[in-house]
DNA sequence: ACAATATAGGACTGAAATAGTCGTATATAT
DNA sequence: ATATATACGACTATTTCAGTCCTATATTGT
């Protein structure tokens, strides 16, 4: 329920990894490092590069590099690319075209749900890749201090 | 992706309906009004009454009545009852016990995800059943004025 | 040229969550 | 009694999600 997909998680982990390395990183390396499926990760990275978040280099010494600054990549961007349009209900986008839901016209929760979706969107938009790196490093420092 | 389940939607619609009527309402009436599955709605209302949001009356003239004031019922309450604990990732609850995820120890997005979950929780907690009714009525007024 | 390496892309499978159905038991007002 | 309404568990169907497999294409180094 209200789960973030593994694809999105892998995408965020990979982007963070690439951002921190500062150079091109191969999918194989990331998959091995974190012990996750190479095939699935490859699909994710491909989607991210098609969407313009990564630049892909083929061949030997190839891999992926960031196409944007970490401050210009938000969690919302990543979710939209890897999970499709963010929609908490069938009807909760602003295109007021048929939503397919049987209730539709009689529905009394449409507006509240749109409001909630808007606020969720804000949450996802307000965290960038750069923020994620800082948060993680802070915690790593803390665990060293303790 | 990040969808609110039909069960939760039905729950919110039913609660709103019951709140606005002010008296006990039978599941059958709600199901017919909105054209949704009676069996599924019955299950939902049963869960809500077991959780203490509704009082159930058996027999003729029976039905469900609110057990709390609309200002004391949040969207978060409803989601937790009908969809289980709100968790956007396998590990994003505060019980730092094994999360089952293979990445776990090496994972660099745990903390950011927990932060996002916390903010989402705030969004859901900050809207009550009473708010939902007001939002809906406002829109109904608007559509009359236009 | 050629072999090694890395991404690109589609088809496919298995597992899990969601949505919905059905049958039966229990409580209660009239 | 009986009609009505909730309670509850088992079951099925549908859809999503996660993961695999195979083949094609691009690039680099020798
Ligand atoms: S019309 Fe209402 S019930 Fe249907 S998808 Fe939209 S919010 Fe959900
Ligand atoms: S450890 Fe990381 S990848 Fe695994 S569930 Fe938690 S956040 Fe997701």
Question: Residue whose CA is closest, atom 7 of ligand 1?
Answer: A110
Q: Is B40 a domain residue?
A: yes
Cβ of A103 within 8 Å of Cβ of B35? The answer is yes
Cβ of A89 within 8 Å of Cβ of B4? The answer is yes
Look at residue A50 and give its three-state secondary structure: helix
Q: How many CB atoms lie within 10 A of CB B118?
A: 12
Which residues, including other chains, have CB under 8 Å from residue B30's CB and lie 6 or more apart?
B13, B14, B17, B18, B36, B41
A22-66 residue pLDDT tens: 999 999 999 999 999 999 999 999 999 999 999 999 999 999 999
Q: Is A1 a domain residue?
A: no
- Round to whole Å and give the CA distance between A10 and B100: 16
Q: Is A77 a domain residue?
A: yes
B71-127 residue pLDDT tens: 999 999 999 999 998 899 988 775 555 677 888 888 999 999 999 999 999 999 999
- Round to whole Å and give the CA distance between A18 and A24: 7
- Specify the CATH number for the domain of residue B34: 1.10.10.10
B22-70 residue pLDDT tens: 999 999 999 999 999 999 999 999 999 999 999 999 999 999 999 999 9
Give the domain extent around B125: 6-132
If one counts the domains in chain B, the total is 1
Q: How many angstroms does the Cα of residue B140 sit away from the middle of ligand 1?
A: 16
pLDDT interval class at A21 (50, 70, 90): very high
Q: Is B145 a domain residue?
A: no
pLDDT interval class at A146 (50, 70, 90): very low
Which residues, including other chains, have CB under 8 Å from residue A140's CB and lie 6 or more apart?
none
In chain A, residues with a C-beta closer than 8 Å to the C-beta of B123 are 116, 119-120, 123
Q: Is the CB of B23 under 7 A from strand D?
A: no
Q: Is B143 a domain residue?
A: no
């Amino acid at each position: 329920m209200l789960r973030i997909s593994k694809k999105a998680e892998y995408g965020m982990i990979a982007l963070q990894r690439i951002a921190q390395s500062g150079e091109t990183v191969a999918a194989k390396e990331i998959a091995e490092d974190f012990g996750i499926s190479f095939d699935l990760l490859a699909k994710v990275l491909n989607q991210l590069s098609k969407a313009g978040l990564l630049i892909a280099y083929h061949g030997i010494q190839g891999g992926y590099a960031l196409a944007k600054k970490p401050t210009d990549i938000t969690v919302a961007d990543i979710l939209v690319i890897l999970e499709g349009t963010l929609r908490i209900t069938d009807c909760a986008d602003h295109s007021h075209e048929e939503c397919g839901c049987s209730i539709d016209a009689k529905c009394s929760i449409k507006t509240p749900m749109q409001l909630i979706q808007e606020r969720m969107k804000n949450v996802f938009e307000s965290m960038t890749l750069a923020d994620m790196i800082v948060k993680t490093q802070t915690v790593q420092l803390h665990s060293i201090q303790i």
